[in-house]
Amino acid sequence: MKIIEHIEALREPFPNAVITIGNFDGVHIGHQGLFHEVVQRAEALAGTAIAMTFEPHPLRVLQARRKPPLITLYEQKKELIGRTGVDVLICIPFDHAFAAISAREFVADLLVRRIGMRAIVVGQDYAFGRHREGNIHMLRALGRELGFEVHVTDWIQAASLDGERISSTRIRELVMAGQVVEAGRMLGRRYQVRGQVVAGRNRGGKLLGFPTANIALQDELCPKTGIYAVTVEHAGRRLLGVANIGYSPTFEDHVFTVEVHLLDFHESIYGETIRVNFIQRIRDEARFESLEDLSRQIQRDVETARRILAAD
């Protein structure tokens, strides 16, 4: 997949461009449906399948106080879109100047003249241009005038969640509630965080017998505090583990941490980046009267995680 990160890099129109546009936070199965249709329509035209997104998220420019944590930061979003078969990802730097472009100028100048759009695939609530003045009705009128097709997709619903509409907002709510299984169904994959393994407080292995990899998170959206069965991606390997997210109430130090005990793993990975996939929440964080009680509970958590992961 070719990646274009500046408008100035658009040297000439793409052949028979079919495009979809959005923030695509999470790259969930609704987004994946859009990309699939774009790829199919581009193949039918012997054209170019294009996804356009924005960085930073427009809400962070236009409504600074309304700043929901992102499900996928830009690097992960690029990776996930790259797996869909899209030919080109155009990432527009979003600022107040770009936000001031009228809906007509956005379509006529950028999409049609510079990108070469022959067809556009959008969701039912698509809005565009200055103050979101453009809508589906306007887009279809411009399509008739400027010679491109408009395809509006139906909502994709999650059958496992009583037909609930899939959205980035709902996925965010599920992750923050610790409902990682349900979030994964909407994402079409496990929810993942990434981070560097850093020095911890040297008590997981020394005091409890369960060494942990303490993670300095790169991601903004962290699941609810508690204990989780997880898999970990490191250096091309898939490892199994138990993650603790929270404040270690038994130690009463009130420091938020994300740490993972890797099952049957004894290597040092300090300073390296790992990816943690959340499979299932096991329990809430709890305070124990003694380190022995805590250690026994961790052993039970490890056994629970092994059963969950064996079935995954």
What is the pLDDT, as a whole number, of residue 158? 57
User: Do the domains 191-311 and 2-154 match in fold?
Assistant: no
Tell me the angle at which helices 180-187 and 168-176 cross, rounded to the nearest 10 degrees.
Answer: 160
The CATH architecture of the domain made up of 2-154 is: 3-Layer(aba) Sandwich (3.40)
Rounded-to-integer distance, Cα 71 and Cα 187, Å:
10
Residue 216: which of 233, 193, 189 has the closest Cα?
Answer: 193
pLDDT for the residue 163: 66
DSSP class per residue in 174-218:
HHHTT-HHHHHHHHTS-EEEEEEEE---S-HHHHHS---EEEEE-
Interacting residues of 267 by C-beta distance below 8 A, sequence separation 6+: none
Q: Which CATH number fits domain 191-311: 3.40.1050.10, 2.60.40.10, 2.40.30.30, 3.90.1560.10?
A: 2.40.30.30
What are the sequence ranges of the domains in the chain?
A: 2-154, 191-311
pLDDT at position 60: 87
Average pLDDT by stretches of 10, the chain with 312 residues: 91 96 95 96 98 92 83 96 98 93 96 97 90 93 97 73 80 97 96 91 54 91 97 96 86 79 91 96 88 88 96 86
- Distance separating alpha carbons of residues 15 and 259, to the nearest angstrom: 48
One-character DSSP codes across 140-155: HHHHHHHT-EEEEPPP
